[in-house]
Structure 1
Amino acid sequence: AAEGERMEWTTIYKNFAETAKEEGLPKIAVVFQQIAEVEEQHELRYRKLLENVRAGKVFQRDEPVKWRCRNCGYVHEGPSAPKVCPACLHPQAYYELFVENY
């Protein structure tokens, strides 16, 4: 997936932007350039996720952190996400790092 994102931001959207410029469509060229920037961030995210998978840190951290069940919202604090949510019994795969973004 990361390689696909890389191709999108380094080649596909770059070429779209160049074509739009050549065709006298500078506003569309800017949009394609901005989409390329988004695709670059996708690549970086996928590579970080892959790092976490390889390091065994998807559901495990070195220090206690907050984990949130995406099914019911239960929040657990500890170095790892529970194997099973004690509130709704969903598996560990439903957990993500808890982030307050409000």
Structure 2
Amino acid sequence: MAATFTPVLPLAELGDGTMRSVMVGATRVLLVHVDGEVRAYDNRCPHRAWPLERGSLAGGVLTCANHRYTFDVATGRGLDPGGCDLVAHPCRVEADGTIAVAVP
């Protein structure tokens, strides 16, 4: 079954090097815009479910504010410690410049 994409935010409202939390249906998603690419992840740390929007973004590294876990936002992989990866969602920028995300 094909994923259903939901428009969530104009790309112009998510500057490069920033992140923002949005709702997609009943799921809170963290949008991350780094180096011209937009990614979408569950807005909760896989370690303790802490809201990632409370963390910090430096370059391509997202740091959780709770226990300082770090993640590569290009891949969603845990950096420190490894093996604790983010839950990713399909994300695209539509022709009209709107970011759209698909969640199960």
Q: Shorter-normalised TM-score: what interval? A: under 0.3
Structure with the larger strand share: 2
Q: Which has the higher contact order (CA 8 A, sep 6+)?
A: 2
Greater Rg over alpha carbons, structure: 1
What is the TM-score when the length of structure 1 is the normalising length?
0.28
TM-score by length of 2: 0.27
Higher helix share: 1
